[in-house]
Amino acid sequence: MRFAHAAAAFLAFSAVGLPAAAVEIDGRVDPLEWDGAHRVTDFRKVQPLNGEPASHPTEAWILATPEGLAVAFRNLQPPSVPRSRERLPRDFQAQVDRVNLMVDFDGGGRTGYAFTVSATGDVYDAVITDGSSFNSDWDGSWRTAVSEDAEGWSVEILVPWHLAPMRGGDGDTRTLHVYLDRVVGASGERVAWPAASFQRPRFLTEFAPLEVPRHSQSLLAITPYVSGLYDNVDGRGNFEGGADLFWKPNGQFQLTATVNPDFGQVESDDLVVNFSATETFVSDKRPFFTENQGLFEFTTPSDYSQLLYTRRVGGPADDGSGAGDITAALKLNGNAGASRYGLFLADEAGAAGRRFGALRLTHDLERQNLGLMLTRVERPFLDREATVLGVDQDWRPTDRLSVRTRLLGSRVDQDGATTRGAGATSYADYEMERGWRQQWMAMHFSDDLQINDFGYLSRNDLNYAHWQVSRRLASLPAASRYSAHDWRWRVSATRSDSGEGLSEQLRISRSSTLRNGSEEYAQVNINSAGVDDLLTRGHGSLRVPPRTSAYYEFSRPRRGAWAHEVEAEVFGGGLSGNRRLGHFLEYVPTFHVSDHLNLLAGLSILRRPDWLVWQRDNLVGSFSHRSLQLEAGINWTMAERQELRVKLQALALDARLRQAYRVEGGRAIATAEPVDDFSVRTLGFQVRYRYELAPLSHLYVVYARGGYDQLAQAGDDLGGMLGDALGLRDDEQLLVKLSYRFER
């Protein structure tokens, strides 16, 4: 049935007429401008995912012009349904009135691009990979305009052909795969054409095929930047300069390069206080490293894992001297029929500088996508060379079954010794009748698998399997306050590669949408007794008792002046299991002073009665842990091209020793060896002014301050410690950065 719908859509919308004239992107849908466009009227509900007709009429037009792919929406909305009026930052996540255009330019189901426009003209863009994974770190250059009247509001979008590499097409035409949707902010209802949903694992492959005239654009863009930074702690300043280059001579080839790229001081990462044995994943917002990065996506089901983690480039230097100094980097993407290729090269300066390289090849067939990725990193300071090879396959044997397989191999040469490792992952999704679905997953990472020289893997030495059954309820009674539920039941088992049973788990969760646009999520985990083999960093595994956790999250979009978010969790852990339960509570209200200005101030409290922290070799401490975190911010859209953002995060953490233990033979043996109480205070504060000079051209003025303080003693008053954190001043900097994009 789904294939029949797609075929009908292809036939209905594949008529190719005379070349289209230019469309004026002014937000007013002129019938003469859109004459001959593909008209879409059959929008169906996909949130809730029941396929019913839209509650409010929506029309769209799609037109391939020499300047780019043009799309218009006409959204009727009666006065009884409130319209969103608030201004939003780029890549917003707010529940507001908006429309979405998503395009797979190649039609292979591997990479898509999302373009979102709110009723106030604010935008979000992202790259879609792995079927339904959105990455908003990428910012593209595209045009849009919005208008409104008493009956509704309209949007016009123009996406240039030079935005992404794409196949050459067949003769005078090419086939795109397109998805359109509209979201009503007041209710959260989403209606789409075709009736595809990112709640399904194969979202990208469900886009509607659309044959359009073949157009091609060339583009040469250079974005130089200059920045000046003054460090108020050291009393020193420095100036930097560099440039990004983007060249697309035709539709099938694209090259980007950078010289002395800015590491991204205009962006502030969230505070991280990590005492665990696994690394914290941080996304990358540097323009060069996000531009057309979708081809290089090679992920596995393990959390955030990927073969190419761009934060490694320019990350902490091997000699501990700070961030690596990137001298230059180059990236090219191209198409040859159904095959795509990519090359990524980067070089750091100095004796501790690293050299990074990656090669990516893919080939798309009717029912499967095949790929290969090879990465290599040279680290002369460590006398280390690391090579990783990955092979991936996405297979769709039927309209209901999807299978994804990844094979990994690593070779590391260091100090004259060679280490080889291997890994494999496979997972299958099967969609059944009446909203039922099943998923099977298996992962294996050998103890010697090492991909973190260029990639990210939270841990190796792992065998994991799960079976999951889920059901979507999308036609609830009209009297229900909910519009849809998505239930999931999962059983899983995790073992180390040496055979130690790390844990077995039963997970029950429910995702829900409410008729007022709110969202709710609840989850219960029941874990068996198991082994913690990471705690002592290789000095012995520790047997831990069964533990249970219950988590709840609720977000309510803006109503009047207020929006609210709540998170709560109760959990067991440590050596106490469920005998001593910890808890977490966070509340973040947002007050909208006006449609252009909002303030948020949230507070979170965490209590862990039995927190195990590694000290050295096989010595660990069990601590009574308390922490208090403050999050506050100001978001002010001062004018059409100006915005001011203020972000504050402060954390106070107190840990009092309950008992010190030596881990021997899997058991925790109490010891009287001295282990200190400790406390942590940390601060991150940024004030950022941004003026948009032109598309992808900005002036930034950024003031930032931060600090980290850890003491070998417990704190007496968390509130007082949080106040002390606000006075930290390890770093205090003023940055002015100007970048301007020149195109021809």
CATH number at residue 182: 2.60.40.1190
- In a domain, residue 172? The reply is yes
- In a domain, residue 166? The reply is yes
The whole-angstrom distance between residue 210's C-alpha and the CA centroid of its chain comes to 28
- In a domain, residue 135? The reply is yes
Cis, bond preceding 194 (omega within 30 deg of 0): yes
Residue 595: pLDDT over 80: yes
Which residues have CB under 8 Å from 61's CB, separation 6+?
29, 34, 37, 38, 39, 40, 70, 71, 72
Range of the domain at 96: 2-215
Q: What is the pLDDT of residues 113-127, one digit of tens each?
A: 999 999 999 999 999
Beta-strand (E) ranges in 435-481? 436-445, 462-473
In whole angstroms, give the CA distance from residue 282 to residue 263.
13
Average pLDDT over residues 485-502: 96
- In a domain, residue 144? The reply is yes
In whole angstroms, give the CA distance from residue 322 to residue 734.
19
Q: Which strands make up the sheet holding 68-76, listed edge to edge?
A: 38-40, 58-65, 68-76, 152-159, 143-148
Handedness of CA 692, 694, 698, 699 (dihedral sign): negative
- In a domain, residue 96? The reply is yes
Average pLDDT over residues 526-545: 96
**Which of 162, 195, 215 is where one domain is finished?**
215
Residue 703: pLDDT over 60: yes
Q: Which two three-digit tokens encode residue 207?
A: 């886009």
In whole angstroms, give the CA distance from residue 197 to residue 47.
8
Going by DSSP bridges, is the β-strand pair 678-694/339-348 parallel, antiparallel, or unpaired?
unpaired
Residue written as tokens 């090579």? 387
Supply the pLDDT for residue 445. Answer: 97
Supply the pLDDT for residue 284. Answer: 86
Supply the pLDDT for residue 427. Answer: 93
- Cβ atoms 687, 705 nearer than 8 A: no
Q: What secondary structure does DSSP assign to 647-664, as a single string?
A: EEEEEEEEEEEEEEEEEE
Give the number of residues written for the chain: 744
DSSP H or E segment with residue 721: helix 718-725
- In a domain, residue 725? The reply is yes
Q: What is the pLDDT of residues 705-727, one digit of tens each?
A: 999 999 999 888 999 999 999 99
**Which of 191, 215, 239 is where one domain is finished?**
215
Beta-strand (E) ranges in 339-435? 339-348, 355-364, 368-379, 384-395, 401-414, 417-431
Q: What is the number of domains present in the chain?
A: 2
In whole angstroms, give the CA distance from residue 38 to residue 14.
8
Question: Is the pTM above the cut of 0.85?
Answer: yes
**Which of 215, 233, 267 is where one domain is finished?**
215
Q: DSSP code of 306?
A: B
Q: Round the average pLDDT of the chain to a whole number and report it.
A: 92
Average pLDDT over residues 200-212: 91
Residue 10: pLDDT over 90: no
In whole angstroms, give the CA distance from residue 159 to residue 164.
10
- In a domain, residue 295? The reply is no
- In a domain, residue 287? The reply is no
- For the ranges 178-182, 200-204, 271-275, the maximum mean pLDDT occurs at 178-182
Beta-strand (E) ranges in 446-596? 462-473, 482-495, 501-514, 519-527, 530-532, 542-544, 547-559, 562-573, 577-592
Residue 537 phi/psi, 5-degree rounding, is 55, 50
* Pick from 452, 348, 392: nearest CA to 110: 392
